Amino acid sequence: MIQKKRSPLIGWRKENKHPTLSEVFSSIYVPQKKGMWKKFFAFTGPGFLIAVGYMDPGNWATDISGGSKFGYMLLSVIFISNLFAIILQHLALKLGIVCERDLAQACRDNYPPFISFILWILCEIAIAACDLAEIIGCALALKLLCNIPITWGVLITTIDVLIILFFQSKGFRYIESLVATLIFTILICFSFEIISSKPEIIPILKGIIPNPRIIQDPHAFYISIGILGATVMPHNLYLHSSIIQTRDYPRTIEGKKMAIKYATIDSTLSLSLAFFINAAILIISAATFHKYGHTEVADIMDAHKLLTPILGSSFAGVFFALALLASGQNSTLTGTLAGQIVMEGFLNIRLKPWIRRLITRLIAIVPAMITAILYGEKGTAELLIISQIILSIQLIFAIIPLVNFTGDSEKMGIFVNGQILKILSWVITSIIILLNSFLLYNTFYLGWS
């Protein structure tokens, strides 16, 4: 008796006929009879959008603090966090390709309406928190570059709504190209900073190897958890599972195998680039601040003030601020798309992109404006940390459904996670839950800082 292959849709209650971002669904041509490089190029793009979330302004404070206080020691934490991210993003793209639905749609299909609504609320709060970090990052960059007051900088960030709408109307490839350009701007800026700071190679290599002191020293452990929380972004899991469907690959078994292969390569290479940038921030902090005894540098403004006199180059501060501005603008692009995806996915509500963007930005801009007016730069720096705590809470509610869905043979069919990947996924999930819970406990009850 010949067994038929089970359809990957068998575990879902209904067929998904309305993909999110329907205006760009299956809009990017994937050549079928061309060579490997042309296929790879067709799938290149979503990885850049995902990598943005791993180098946004929210990461900067933890990397700067870790480098100034502990030198190169916490490089291993960034490396491990990046490995976690690579695996989780692989699961997200696989869910989107195999089941032809994003993570938000999968939750809506699988859970009762009340649970889906709660998950949507939590996700919207997380996206607003992420947008808050981007607003603050852009506002700080404008102050550093042009001496624009923080309050005015916050208001100016609303203009990016028009920039996003312009590129969105041109096609999804234009958005990917803009993001890639901004990423390489950040890369060039930090390459200059690394060359100028002249870090020591041997300590860097030692820093990639986990050091027992990370667990033994409470402050090192606390910053390590912060790095992990700022690295693995919950909205990226929703985003990746949707935007991978912009590719026009055959929706067959073989077509999906090909899509998973090239999309995973794209994601892995892009996240490797994000690792370099995150590591560069910590390395520069270690080679400048820690080396010269400035071990208490913990925020972006302090780092900028010290870079120029330590490195002896007037360009050091300029490149630092320019990278920060590019990082904030990049993150706001992906935040817009993530907001549209979760609203459409969880609630099946479709709004015009400019309305969706305006809602997200207004939710984030109000607390940023109030804090900037009442407390100035110091308050916005603290608000940046709070936004990362909110993201840490939401992360748990995004990872568990993702790992559960991709490990379900009825939902994934022949594409279900293998035994090793299942175990690894749940180990990563358990570690993230444990560490984030520890972070929240110490933040709210023990007052660690």
**pLDDT per residue over 309-342, tens digit each?**
677 666 777 888 888 888 777 777 777 778 888 8
Confidence of residue 7 (pLDDT cuts 50, 70, 90): very low
- Maximum average pLDDT range among 130-134, 346-350, 368-372: 346-350
Name the least confident of 126-130, 185-189, 263-267, 285-289. 126-130
pLDDT: which is higher, 200 or 305: 200
Question: Taking 90 as the threshold, does the pLDDT of residue 260 lie above it?
Answer: yes
Paired sense of beta strands 28-29 and 247-248, if any: parallel
* pLDDT recorded at residue 1: 34
Instruction: Give the model's pLDDT for residue 313.
Output: 66
pLDDT band for 257, please (50, 70, 90 cuts).
very high
pLDDT at 370 over 60: yes
Q: What is the mean pLDDT of residues 428-438?
A: 83
Look-up: residue for tokens 């296929």?
39
> How many C-beta atoms surround the C-beta of residue 250 within 10 A?
12
DSSP one-letter code for 289: I
pLDDT class for 79, splitting at 50, 70, 90? very high
d(CA 70, CA 413): 47
Predicted confidence at residue 361, as pLDDT, reads 65
HSE toward the beta carbon, residue 265, CA cutoff 13 A: 13
Looking at residue 364, its pLDDT comes to 61
pLDDT over threshold 80, residue 193: yes
Q: Flag whether pLDDT at 407 surpasses 70.
A: yes
* Secondary structure class of 198 (helix, strand, coil): coil
CB under 8 Å to 335, separation ≥6 — which residues?
Answer: 127, 130, 131, 134, 235, 360
The reported pLDDT for the residue numbered 226 is: 73
Q: Per-residue pLDDT for 352 more than 60?
A: yes
Query: What six digits make up the tokens of 198?
Result: 């002249």
Q: Range with the lowest mean pLDDT among 19-28, 116-125, 404-413?
A: 19-28
Domain boundaries, the chain: 28-446
What residues form DSSP beta bridges with 247? 28
Cross-strand partners of 29: 248
Cβ-count burial 140-171 (b if 16+ within 10 Å, e if not): bbbbbbeebebbebbbebeebbeebeebbeee
Per-residue pLDDT, 317? 77
CB atoms within 10 A of CB 346: 26
> Nearest to residue 230, comparing CAs of 53, 112, 37?
53
Rounded to 5°, the CA angle 15-21-26 comes to 75
Chain segment 140-151, per-residue pLDDT in tens: 888 888 888 877
Of 342, 361, 442, 380, which Cα lies nearest the Cα of 141? 380
Judged against a pLDDT cut of 60, whether residue 5 lies above it is answered with no
**pLDDT at 168 exceeding the cut of 70:** no
- The mean pLDDT of the chain is 81
For residue 353, the model assigns a pLDDT of 66
Mean pLDDT for 221-229 is 77
Residue 119 has pLDDT above 80, yes or no: yes
Please give the pLDDT value at position 4. 38
Structure tokens at 276: 């370099």
| Other Cβ atoms closer than 10 A to 421 | 17
Express as a percent the part of the chain with pLDDT over 90: 28
Question: What pLDDT sits at residue 3?
Answer: 37
Return the pLDDT at 312. Answer: 66
Q: Note the pLDDT of residue 299.
A: 65
166/416: higher pLDDT: 416
CATH 3.40.50.11900 fits 28-446, yes or no: no
Q: What is the pLDDT of residue 223?
A: 81
In this predicted structure, what is the pLDDT of residue 385? Answer: 62
What angle separates helix 353-406 from helix 75-99, to the nearest 10 degrees? 90
Which region among 43-47, 371-375, 391-395 has the lowest average model confidence (pLDDT)? 371-375
Tokens of 44: 């290149």
CA dihedral of 49, 55, 59, 64, whole degrees rounded to 10? -170
Please return the burial class of 422, using the count of CB atoms within 10 Å of its CB with bins 0-12, 13-18 and 19+. middle
Please, which pLDDT band fits residue 108 given cuts at 50, 70 and 90?
very high
Quick one: pLDDT band at residue 384, thresholds 50, 70, 90?
A: low
**Average pLDDT score over residue span 209-235:** 80
